[in-house]
Amino acid sequence: MGIKAKGKVLYRSNLRDIIVICSFVSALFYGITEGEMAIGFFLLAIGCFLHIITKGILIRNVTLCTGGVYRVVRHPYYLSSYLIDSSFCLLSGNHLLVLLYPFLFFWSYRPTMRKEDRLLAERYGDTFTSYRREVPDVFPDRNSFRHLATLFGGFSKERLTWKECARVSRFCSLGIFLTLLHDVVGNGLNSFHIYSPVLRDWGEVLFALLAGILYVASFVFARKADQNGHRTEGTYD
C-alpha cells in the first residue's frame, strides 16, 4: 500500500481507481483513432507482461532482487503500473489525461519508492548502494537495454498466484470495455446489429464476449486467491 501522507488525497493504492473512472467518463466524450487503439493495447500488453515477469522474480523480504528484470530497472512493478494506466488513458481518447498522468504517477508513487529505497539501503548497505547507482529506478536508460537478454533471470512460475491472474484478467477486460464504449457512444447499440449481424459485427460481439469472460474470470481468480490466503490490495491495483 502506498504512503498516505496527512492531507494527501492521491496515493499509489487509489491512483488506478481514479484513472479507470476518468478513462471511462472520458470515453463518453472523446473519440479514439485506430492508431491510438493499437498503441493503447500494445502498452497494455507490455504492462501486463512486465507485471507477470516481475511477480515471478520478486522474493519479497528475503533477498535483494538484482537479476532478471530487476537488472533493467529497480522498480519494474511500478513501471508495469505506469504502462497499464497509460494504456487506459490513451484508450480513453482524452489527450489531456494522457499528458496529466505522468505527473499524477510521480506524485503518488515517488514517496513509496523513496521509502522502499531507504529500507533497502538500511538492510543491504553497500550492496544496495552499488545496485542503485547502476540501475535506474522506474524508466530504463541506455545501459538497461544491455540486460534485456537476461529479462527472465530468476523467474519461477511457482511465485505467480491467483491474485496476479485476477489482476491481469481485469486489466485486459477494462481495456476492451473502453474500446467497446467508444463504439457504442459513436454508433449506438445498433452498431452491433444484434438482430442481423454481418461478419464484422460478429467480431465485435465476440470482442465484447471476451471482455465479459475476462472480467468474470478476474472475480473467479480473486476468489481462489482469497481461499488460498492471498489478500487483495485494492479494486484495480
Q: Rounded CA gap, 106 and 112, in Å?
A: 10
pTM: 0.86
- pLDDT per residue as tens, the chain (237 positions): 344 445 466 777 789 999 999 999 999 999 999 999 999 999 999 999 999 999 999 887 778 888 899 999 999 999 999 999 999 999 999 999 999 999 999 999 998 899 999 999 999 999 999 999 999 999 998 888 888 888 888 898 888 889 999 999 999 999 999 998 998 887 665 555 544 555 455 567 777 888 889 999 999 998 888 887 644 444 444
- Where residue 229 falls (left for φ over 0; alpha for ψ -120 to 50; beta otherwise) is left
Going along the chain from its start, the domains and CATH numbers come out as 12-227 (1.20.120)
Q: Nearest CA to 86 among 136, 36, 35, 141? A: 36
User: Which of 162, 171, 166 has its CA nearest to residue 48?
Assistant: 171
Ordered DSSP codes for 127-148: HHHHHHHHS-SSS--GGGGGGG
| CA triple 40-44-49, angle to 5 deg | 150
